[in-house]
Structure 1
Amino acid sequence: MGHDDSAGARTDERRRGGLSIQSRLLIMLLAVSLVSAAVVGAVGYVNGRESLRAEVVDKLTAMRELRTGEITSLLGEVQRESALASNNASARGASVALNAGWDELAGRTLTSTEDAALSSFYADTFLPRLEGATGEDFADRAFVPPSPAGRVAQYLFTRQDGAADRPVSDPGDGSPYSQAYLEADSYFSELVKTVGYTDVVVANLDGDVVYTAAGGVDLGSNLTDGPFRESQLAKGFSEVVAANSVNDVVTTDIEEWTPALGFPVMWVVSPIGDDEGITGVLALQVPIQWINDVMTGYGEWEKQGFGETGETYLAGADHLMRSNSRSLIQNPDGYAAAVIADGTTADTADKIVRAGGTVLLQPTRGAAVDAAVAGQTGAEVTQDYIGGESITAYAPLDIDGVDWVIVARMESQEAFAPVTDFTRTLLLSTLGLMLLVSLLSLILSQSFTRPIRRLATAVRRVSDGDYDTRVETRGTDELADLASSFNEMASGLRLKQELIDHQRDENERLLRSIMPESLAEKYREGAETLAERHDDVAVVFAELLGFDDFSRDLDGAQETSALNDLMRGFDEVAARCGVESVRTLRGGYLASSGLTVPRVDNARRAVEFAVGMRESVQRFNDRTGATLDLRAGVDTGSVTSGIVARASLAYDLWGDAVHLASRLRRAGEEPGVFVTDAVRTRVEGLFDLVEADAVEVDGQATAVWRVA
Structure 2
Amino acid sequence: MSATTDTGAQHTPITEAERLRAHEIEREAAKSAPQAERRRRRGGLSIQSKLLIMLLSVSLISSVIVGVIGYINGRESLQAAAIDQLTTIRELRVNELEHTLEGVQKGVRLDSRNLSAQTLSRELNAGWDDLQTRELSPEQLAELEAYYADTFNPELEARTGETYSSTAFIPESNAGKWAQYHYTAQFADFDEALATNTAADGTPYSAAAEQYGDYLTRLVSQVGYEDLLVLNLDGDVVYSAYKGVDLGSNLLDGPYEDSSLADAYREVVATNSVNAVKTTDFERWIPSLNIPAMWVVSPIGNDSTITGVLAAQIPLDTINNAMTGDQQWKEQGLGDTGEVYVVGQDHLMRSISRELVEHPDQYAQKAISAGTPPAIADRVVAVNGTVLLQPIDTAPVVEALKGRTGSGISTSYLGDESIAAWTPVEIDGLNWVAVARITTAEAFAPVADFTRTLVLSLLGIVLAVSVLSLLLAQVFTRPIRKLVDAVRRIAGGDLAVQVPIDSRDEIGDLGSAFNDMASSLRIKQDLIDAQQTENRKLMLTLMPEAVAKRYKDGEETISEEHDNVSVVFAELVGFEEYAEGLSGASETSQLNALMRGFDEAAQKAGVEKVRTLRGGYLASSGLIVPRVDNVRRAVDFAREMRLVVQRFNSQNGTELDIRAGVDTGTVTSGLVARTSLAYDLWGDAVSLAYRVRSVTGQPGIYVSQAVRDRMQDSVTFTPAGSVELRGTAQDVWRIE
TM range (shorter): 0.5 to 0.7
Q: 1:191 Cα shift?
A: 0.7
Q: 1:176 Cα shift?
A: 1.3
Aligned 1:243-258 pairs, distance under 5 A: 243-258=271-286
2:360 is the counterpart of 1:332: yes
Q: Distance in 1 between matches of 2:85 and 2:273?
A: 43
- Comparing 189-198 with 206-215, which one deviates more in the overlay? 189-198
What is the identity, as a one-letter code, of the residue corresponding to 1:377?
Answer: T
Q: 1:98 Cα shift?
A: 1.1
2:242 is the counterpart of 1:214: yes
Q: 1:386 Cα shift?
A: 1.1
What is the identity, as a one-letter code, of the residue corresponding to 2:237?
Answer: V
Q: Distance in 2 between matches of 1:429 and 1:330?
A: 38
The one of 151, 158, 162 aligned to 1:132: 158
1:60 corresponds in structure 2 to 86
- TM-score (structure 1 length as normaliser): 0.55
**Uncovered stretches (5+) of structure 2, i.e. residues with no partner:** 1-59, 464-736
Paired positions, count:
405
Q: 1:209 Cα shift?
A: 0.5
What is the identity, as a one-letter code, of the residue corresponding to 2:123?
Answer: A
Q: 1:247 Cα shift?
A: 0.8
What is the identity, as a one-letter code, of the residue corresponding to 1:314?
Answer: V
2:717 corresponds in structure 1 to none
CA contact (8 A) 2:338 2:436 kept: yes
SS for the counterpart of 1:372 is helix
1:270 corresponds in structure 2 to 298
1:103 corresponds in structure 2 to 129
CA contact (8 A) 2:352 2:387 kept: yes
Q: Distance in 2 between matches of 1:320 and 1:345?
A: 13
CA contact (8 A) 1:163 1:213 kept: no
Q: 1:263 Cα shift?
A: 1.3
SS for the counterpart of 1:396 is strand
Q: 1:82 Cα shift?
A: 0.5
| Structure 1 residues 164 and 186, CA gap change in structure 2 (3 angstroms) | farther
Q: Distance in 1 between matches of 2:63 and 2:447?
A: 19
2:391 corresponds in structure 1 to 363
In the TM superposition, what whole-angstrom CA distance separates every residue of 1:589-613 from its partner, at most 9, and x where no partner exists? xxxxxxxxxxxxxxxxxxxxxxxxx
CA contact (8 A) 1:161 1:216 kept: no
Q: Distance in 2 between matches of 1:101 and 1:263?
A: 31
2:404 is the counterpart of 1:376: yes
Q: Distance in 2 between matches of 1:145 and 1:36?
A: 83
Q: Distance in 2 between matches of 1:37 and 1:186?
A: 76
1:295 corresponds in structure 2 to 323
2:107 is the counterpart of 1:76: no
In the TM superposition, what whole-angstrom CA distance separates every residue of 1:465-516 from its partner, at most 9, and x where no partner exists? xxxxxxxxxxxxxxxxxxxxxxxxxxxxxxxxxxxxxxxxxxxxxxxxxxxx
Q: Distance in 2 between matches of 1:340 and 1:397?
A: 28
Q: 1:391 Cα shift?
A: 0.6
| Structure 1 residues 280 and 92, CA gap change in structure 2 (3 angstroms) | same
Q: Distance in 2 between matches of 1:292 and 1:182?
A: 34
Sequence identity, in percent?
Answer: 53
CA contact (8 A) 2:197 2:213 kept: no
Q: 1:427 Cα shift?
A: 4.6
1:542 corresponds in structure 2 to none
CA contact (8 A) 2:408 2:420 kept: yes
1:680 corresponds in structure 2 to none
Q: Distance in 1 between matches of 2:223 and 2:197?
A: 22
1:388 corresponds in structure 2 to 416
What is the identity, as a one-letter code, of the residue corresponding to 1:337?
Answer: Q
Q: Distance in 1 between matches of 2:212 and 2:231?
A: 12
2:23 corresponds in structure 1 to none
Q: 1:433 Cα shift?
A: 11
The one of 215, 218, 234 aligned to 2:262: 234
Rg: which structure is higher? 2
1:176 corresponds in structure 2 to 204
Q: Distance in 2 between matches of 1:203 and 1:164?
A: 21
Q: Distance in 1 between matches of 2:445 and 2:378?
A: 32
Q: 1:416 Cα shift?
A: 0.8
SS for the counterpart of 2:332 is coil
SS for the counterpart of 1:391 is strand
1:699 corresponds in structure 2 to none
Q: 1:429 Cα shift?
A: 7.5
2:85 is the counterpart of 1:85: no
SS for the counterpart of 1:403 is strand
2:221 corresponds in structure 1 to 193
2:288 is the counterpart of 1:260: yes
1:352 corresponds in structure 2 to 380
SS for the counterpart of 2:331 is coil
CA contact (8 A) 2:261 2:280 kept: yes
CA contact (8 A) 1:252 1:402 kept: yes
What is the identity, as a one-letter code, of the residue corresponding to 1:112?
Answer: P
SS for the counterpart of 2:330 is coil
**Uncovered stretches (5+) of structure 1, i.e. residues with no partner:** 1-33, 436-708
CA contact (8 A) 2:367 2:377 kept: yes
What is the identity, as a one-letter code, of the residue corresponding to 1:96?
Answer: R
CA contact (8 A) 1:164 1:198 kept: no
Q: 1:431 Cα shift?
A: 8.6
What is the identity, as a one-letter code, of the residue corresponding to 1:134?
Answer: T
The one of 36, 58, 76 aligned to 1:50: 76
CA contact (8 A) 1:164 1:192 kept: no
CA contact (8 A) 2:93 2:324 kept: no
What is the identity, as a one-letter code, of the residue corresponding to 1:129?
Answer: E
The one of 303, 307, 310 aligned to 1:282: 310
The one of 320, 334, 337 aligned to 1:306: 334
